[in-house]
Amino acid sequence: MSEVIRSVVHLAVYDTLADWETGFATAHINKPLWHKTPGRFAVSTVGPSAAPITTMGGLRVTPDVVLADLKPADSAMLILPGNDIFATEAFVPFAEKAREFLDAGVPVAAICGATGGLAMAGLLDDRAHTSNAAAFLDSLGYKGGELYRDEPAVTDGDLITASASAPVEFAREILARLEVMEPHVLASWYKLYGKRDPAGFYELMSA
């Protein structure tokens, strides 16, 4: 039996990270249950330095990797959670790393305030996207308003964006882009977690 080649998904961690926005994604990426290829994926955290960060919920997280050392070739995707630092210099290195990933053809997923940081960096000017509201991004002076989509989550090529109120839809787009699950399994997963339909659970149990 051949050994599974592990793909690492990197979760950006920084002070004020919005805890609820990426939990569905990271839990179901890291846990091999229902995966097309169990054991293929793992989650690693990447921070501005090796020092612990404090999330919005008060949790302390010590990054596995320092942002400056992260190369797109070593990652399957960069996930950027919402935060209160998106409009400050503290988020600029993460926006620039997102640019580096997209230029290299490696997916980036951003939710809530992180979409604001990408908008300010010009990364939403030529890609279909969403966020918490069109007015939120407009207030930042970006040029991508014509490509805004009033949807919970949007995928355009290698970029996934989502509203703060759509962590399940955000996760669904991430799981689909990475091909973590077979499409019919992911549909059952969303039926359970997104539509809160118990039938999804029984479908998953027989998957």
* CA–CA dist 128, 119 (Å, integer): 12
Half-sphere exposure of residue 11, counting CA atoms within 13 Å on the CB side? 28
Name the burial class of residue 105, with classes exposed (0-12), middle (13-18) and buried (19+) by CB atoms within 10 angstroms of its CB: exposed
**Choosing from 79, 106, 111, 112, which is the catalytic residue?**
112
* CA–CA dist 80, 21 (Å, integer): 10
Give how far Cα 141 sits from Cα of 10, 89, 109, 145, 146, Å. 29, 17, 21, 10, 13
112 annotated active-site? yes
If you ran DSSP here, which 8-state letter would residue 50 be given?
S
* CA–CA dist 10, 79 (Å, integer): 6
- Please name which of 206, 164, 160, 154 lies closest in space to residue 182, comparing C-alpha atoms: 206
Q: Which helix (H) or strand (E) holds 108?
A: strand 108-111
Residues marked as catalytic: 112
